[in-house]
Amino acid sequence: MHDFHRGRRLRRTAAIRDLVRETEVTPKDLIMPYFVVDTDDADFKHPIASMPGQFQLSLPQLERKVASAVATGLRALILFGIPKTKDESGSQGYADNGIVQRAVRAIKERFPALVVITDVCLCEYTSHGHCGLIDDGYVQNDPTLELLAETALSHARAGADMVAPSDMMDGRVAAIRQVLDESGFPELPIMSYAVKYASAFYGPFREAADSAPKFGDRKSYQMDPANEREAMREALADASEGADILMVKPALPYLDIVSMVRRTFDTPVAAYQVSGEYSMIKAAAELGWIDEKKVVMETLTSIKRAGADLILSYFTEDVLKELNW
Ligand code: PBG
């Protein structure tokens, strides 16, 4: 009679289940991504078709959106910029008066306690849509490092609390760390997109950030989804170059990698629930096929259970309202 496990004992009531729950998503874990557009139209608020509920925003519209999110408990955000003009070397990405630099200044002035993180990459700013300089049809690694470091420094000078390089060039964490240290920002943390796969789940983002490559793909710099051991080498490289937080991206299809990075490194681990993960849930919910709120909480809980300390998610605003913290 007693020779089997009665797992149901601890599932009998909601209160008991609450007592023994191992993982909880809290507002403190969540980072909201925003897309800010360099435009003279202060009212600009353009819905992103493939990401229902997400917008490209002018700076004044972004400030309004952030203000209401802060009122519901938002603590951290990450900014992506869409410039007025693009060129071969992505110069608006590191311009002092670039859109991200202006947005950082405006947001930090109004919400000093908010953690403002910036995505450091060139793809939104280059005419060819690649994350680095092009020569001979190939993305050049070493010449790109200087521009990435310059971008990070311009964000630091604007008042960013953290920089997050997402380009996947080799050596960029070291290059950024060196420039920040030499320029008076030795305490500015770097959250590196350390393990970033060449994923089709970024599709909707490329509409949102207008950053699709004009030729070829990103497979010569982002990782092959088939590789696990390589993720270790990437994470180790970034950790040894001085990354303070290691990110894995995308999140849900790569929970094995999140778990491995968590168990191997003692830095905080972040996971990015990317645009395609968001859009799939939205689409199925709009068709009435899944319960959106429950699926969102289940995915975020799973990402935490796998080992993520921080989660970047487009659901952050909705979850904050829902959690009623
Ligand atoms: C820029 C960048 C991308 C994402 C974050 N930073 C796109 C890409 O690498 O093509 C994807 C985020 C998302 O899909 O939500 N390099």
Divide the 325 residues of the chain into consecutive groups of 10 and give the mean pLDDT of each group: 91 97 95 98 97 98 98 97 96 97 98 98 96 94 97 98 97 98 98 98 93 94 97 98 98 98 98 98 98 97 98 97 70
- Residue from 26, 191, 36, 28 nearest 99 by CA: 36
Q: Counting atoms of ligand 1 from 1, which one is nearest the CA of 203?
A: 14
CA atoms of 242 and 126, how far apart (whole Å): 27
DSSP 55-68: EEE-HHHHHHHHHH
Tell me the CA–centroid distance for residue 297 and ligand 1, in Å: 23
Task: Provide the pairing of β-strand 133-135 with 55-57.
Answer: unpaired
Q: Counting atoms of ligand 1 from 1, which one is nearest the CA of 204?
A: 14
Task: Provide the pairing of β-strand 45-47 with 55-57.
Answer: antiparallel
- Residue from 160, 196, 197 nearest 79 by CA: 160
Q: How many residues does the chain have?
A: 325
Phi, psi of 14 (to 5 degrees): -60, -40
Cβ–ligand 1 contact at 274 (below 6 Å): yes
Q: Counting atoms of ligand 1 from 1, which one is nearest the CA of 314?
A: 15
Express the helix, strand and coil content of the chain in percent, nearest 5 each. Answer: 45, 20, 40
CA atoms of 201 and 208, how far apart (whole Å): 13
Cβ–ligand 1 contact at 279 (below 6 Å): no
109-130 pLDDT, tens digit per residue, is 999 999 999 999 999 999 999 9
**Nearest residue by C-alpha to atom 7 in ligand 1:** 202
| Integer CA distances (angstroms), 97 to 9, 25, 71, 148, 167, in order | 61, 37, 28, 16, 22
Instruction: Tell me which amino acid residue 295 is.
Output: V
Q: What does pLDDT average to over the chain?
A: 96
**Distant-in-sequence, close-in-space partners of 110: CB < 8 Å, separation ≥ 6:** 63, 66, 67
**Nearest residue by C-alpha to atom 6 in ligand 1:** 166
Cβ–ligand 1 contact at 66 (below 6 Å): no
CA atoms of 158 and 36, how far apart (whole Å): 15
Q: Are 167 and 120 in contact (CB under 8 A)?
A: yes
The tokens for 214 are 């004009």
CA atoms of 310 and 270, how far apart (whole Å): 5
Tell me the CA–centroid distance for residue 17 and ligand 1, in Å: 37
Q: Counting atoms of ligand 1 from 1, which one is nearest the CA of 213?
A: 10
Q: Are 83 and 93 in contact (CB under 8 A)?
A: yes
Cβ–ligand 1 contact at 277 (below 6 Å): no
H helix count then E strand count, the chain: 11, 12
Q: What pLDDT is stored for residue 324 in this prediction?
A: 57
Residue of 65, 196, 282, 304 with catalytic role: 196
Tell me the CA–centroid distance for residue 71 and ligand 1, in Å: 27
Q: Are 155 and 80 in contact (CB under 8 A)?
A: no
Residue of 249, 282, 294, 321 with catalytic role: 249
Catalytic, 196? Answer: yes
What is the domain partition of the chain in residue ranges? 25-322
CA atoms of 284 and 286, how far apart (whole Å): 5
For the 25-322 domain, the top CATH level (class) is: alpha beta
Global confidence as pTM: 0.97
- Ligand 1 site-directed mutation target among 54, 77, 121, 282, most atoms within 8 Å of CB: 121
**R_g of the chain computed on alpha carbons:** 20
252-280 pLDDT, tens digit per residue, is 999 999 999 999 999 999 999 999 999 99
**Distant-in-sequence, close-in-space partners of 79: CB < 8 Å, separation ≥ 6:** 33, 34, 36, 100, 103, 104, 116, 117, 118, 119
Cβ–ligand 1 contact at 202 (below 6 Å): yes
189-215 pLDDT, tens digit per residue, is 999 999 999 999 999 999 899 899 999
Catalytic, 249? Answer: yes
Q: Counting atoms of ligand 1 from 1, which one is nearest the CA of 168?
A: 16
Q: What pLDDT is stored for residue 323 in this prediction?
A: 75
CA atoms of 297 and 72, how far apart (whole Å): 17
The tokens for 44 are 């600009």
**Nearest residue by C-alpha to atom 11 in ligand 1:** 202
CA atoms of 41 and 62, how far apart (whole Å): 12
The tokens for 157 are 């000078």
| Integer CA distances (angstroms), 273 to 213, 256, 313, in order | 21, 14, 5
- Residue from 226, 218, 91 nearest 167 by CA: 218
